[in-house]
């Protein structure tokens, strides 16, 4: 899971790399809940949104982030340590809650070097287990790998190699091996994987990014308990026009060309992973609790949608949008039947905003349940409103 505010505004776009035949073995629940209502909890939000405020509907917390430095997991700072104690206390009050340490995030380096050889993989995994499991016993139930991204698609300054694609699978296997050796019940190994976007670093800027070029999707799915599929950031600052952040389906008026248009949406991304050998029950659908905006150069016929733009606009979280933009009559409120998402347009300021609301989040959760996915997760829990409207909509099908 990337820290999405820090992610440079860039459009998600997928290319078809062919279909992998055969399916991974079915996921098992290892004696735990068959469904996931997951939430990323960020260290930088803990003052305004402490651990104790995590709602009871959440089954799995992904703590963001741990990091890798010099081939080993970096030691947490004092703020992290305080969060770890609070998470352990929360687990004691909610025995079914499971907590994973998410390692990486957008802009986090160290993965390519750490995963390069068998020895380096053993070293980094052993250090992560010592750093988070041995030092803080009873706090963590698993590891969430957030390598953004092997081979290509990540920031230009992050080391990447062609062999990363295979090594990402081998790194997941090493986490699985060493976590199994810990004993004390099944430990989770998950990974946050992308639904695609335009290239930001490795490769030609603006070229389509294909997740299957970075990950052995079918193979790594067999190692992981599940994939947190990042079905958002499909319309960001690498898009040539103002567009949706997480559209459910293709929008006919969208000027994005094929084959990107086919896969550059929530349902398309899930089908893409399935075509590459990932079973539905190894996927947990990602939903964003934040918006993205564009200052457009013209209103166009669609109230700012699919228009050229010259600068980005950060509308903030759902809570911000609900309390400020939705209460301001200067912002026109619209709904798209194909994207199954709302959007806002301020004609006076020439600003378009894509966001999700409880209605659109509920549609995505219903889709995940009907499609046989393992559950849904959000980036990120602190961006909900005080009534937990988004979480309630996300959790309702389960």
pLDDT at position 198, please?
A: 52
Degrees to nearest 5, angle at CA 206 with 170 and 278: 35
d(CA 17, CA 50) in angstroms, rounded, equals 43
For 4, residues 6+ apart whose C-beta sits below 8 A from its C-beta are 106, 232, 233, 288, 290, 379, 380
CA atoms within 13 A on the CB side of 229: 33
Residue 351, SS3? strand
In order of 91, 125, 132, 193, the CA distances from 179 in angstroms are 20, 9, 12, 21
Q: Parallel, antiparallel, or unpaired for β 226-230 and 68-69?
A: unpaired
pLDDT score at 203: 46
SS3 at position 295: strand
- Is 58 domain-assigned? yes
* Catalytic entry in 45, 148, 174, 332: 148
> What pLDDT is attached to residue 25?
34
Q: Is residue 347 part of a domain?
A: no
Residue 330 in any domain: the answer is no
Is 141 within 8 Å of 100 (Cβ atoms)? yes
Number of Cβ atoms within 10 Å of the Cβ of 69 = 13
Domain assignment present for 1:
no
Query: What was the pLDDT predicted at 20?
Result: 29
H or E element at residue 132: none
Residue 131 confidence (pLDDT) = 98
CA distance 298 to 292: 18
pTM above 0.75, yes or no: yes
**Residue by residue, what is the 3-state secondary structure of 67-101?**
CEECCEECCCCHHHHHHHHHHHHHHHHCCCCEEEE
Contact 65, 146 (CB under 8 A): yes
Q: Distance from first CA to last CA of the chain, Å, rounded? A: 23
Indicate whether 191 belongs to any domain. Answer: yes
How far is it, in rounded angstroms, from Cα 369 to Cα 268?
16
How large is the angle between the packed helices 266-275 and 358-370, nearest 10 degrees? 20
pLDDT at 206: 53
Per-residue pLDDT 10s for the chain (398 aa) are 433 333 333 323 333 333 322 333 333 443 345 899 999 999 999 999 999 999 999 999 999 999 999 999 999 999 999 999 999 999 999 999 999 999 999 999 999 999 999 999 999 999 999 999 999 999 999 999 999 999 988 888 999 999 999 999 999 999 999 999 999 999 999 999 998 665 554 444 456 778 999 999 999 999 999 999 999 999 888 888 999 999 999 999 999 888 778 888 999 999 999 999 999 999 999 999 999 999 999 999 999 999 999 999 999 999 999 999 999 999 999 999 999 999 999 999 999 999 999 999 999 999 999 999 999 999 999 999 999 999 999 999 99
Q: In total, how many domains does the chain have?
A: 1
Instruction: Decide: 38 and 60 in contact? Cβ < 8 Å.
Output: yes
Task: Confirm whether 148 is a catalytic residue.
Answer: yes
Residue 109 sits in a domain whose CATH number is: 3.20.20.80
Question: In terms of residue numbers, what domain contains 137?
Answer: 36-289+356-395
What's the pLDDT at 21? 28
* Lookup: tokens for 268: 């398309």
**236 within a domain of the structure (yes/no):** yes
State the pLDDT at residue 261. Answer: 83
């Amino acid at each position: 899971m990337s820290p999405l505010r820090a992610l440079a505004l860039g459009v998600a776009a997928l290319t078809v790399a062919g279909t992998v035949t055969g399916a991974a073995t079915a996921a098992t629940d290892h004696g735990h809940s068959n469904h996931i209502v997951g939430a990323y909890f960020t260290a930088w939000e803990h003052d305004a949104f402490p651990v104790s405020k995590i709602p009871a509907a959440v089954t799995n917390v992904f703590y963001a982030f741990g990091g890798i430095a010099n081939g080993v997991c970096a030691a947490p700072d004092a703020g992290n340590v305080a969060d770890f104690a609070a998470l352990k206390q929360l687990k004691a009050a909610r025995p079914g809650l499971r907590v994973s340490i998410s390692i990486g995030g957008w802009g986090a380096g160290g993965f390519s070097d750490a995963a390069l050889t068998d020895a380096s993989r053993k070293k980094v995994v052993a250090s992560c287990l010592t750093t988070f499991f041995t030092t803080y016993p009873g706090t963590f139930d698993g590891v969430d790998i957030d390598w953004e991204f092997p081979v290509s698609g990540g920031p230009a300054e992050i080391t990447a190699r062609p062999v990363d694609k295979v090594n990402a699978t081998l790194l997941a296997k090493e986490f699985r091996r060493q976590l199994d050796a810990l004993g004390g019940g099944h430990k989770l190994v998950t990974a946050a994987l992308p639904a695609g976007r335009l290239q930001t670093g490795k490769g030609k800027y603006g070229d389509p990014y294909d997740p299957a070029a970075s990950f052995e999707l079918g193979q790594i799915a067999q190692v992981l308990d599940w994939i947190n599929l990042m079905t958002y950031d499909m319309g960001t600052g690498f898009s040539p026009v103002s567009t949706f952040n997480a559209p459910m389906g293709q929008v006919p008026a969208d000027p994005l060309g094929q084959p990107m248009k086919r896969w550059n949406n929530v349902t398309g991304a899930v089908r893409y992973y399935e075509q590459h050998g990932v079973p539905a029950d190894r996927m947990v659908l990602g939903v964003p609790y934040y918006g993205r905006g564009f200052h457009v150069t013209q209103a166009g016929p669609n109230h700012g949608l699919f228009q050229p733009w010259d600068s980005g606009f950060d509308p903030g979280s759902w809570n911000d949008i609900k309390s400020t933009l939705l209460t301001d009559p200067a912002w026109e409120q619209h709904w798209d039947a194909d994207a199954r998402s709302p959007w806002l347009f301020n004609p006076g300021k020439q600003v378009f905003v894509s966001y999700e609301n409880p209605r659109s989040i509920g549609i995505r959760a219903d889709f995940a349940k009907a499609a046989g996915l393992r559950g849904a997760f959000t980036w990120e829990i602190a961006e909900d409103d005080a009534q937990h409207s988004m979480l309630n909509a996300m959790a309702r099908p389960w």
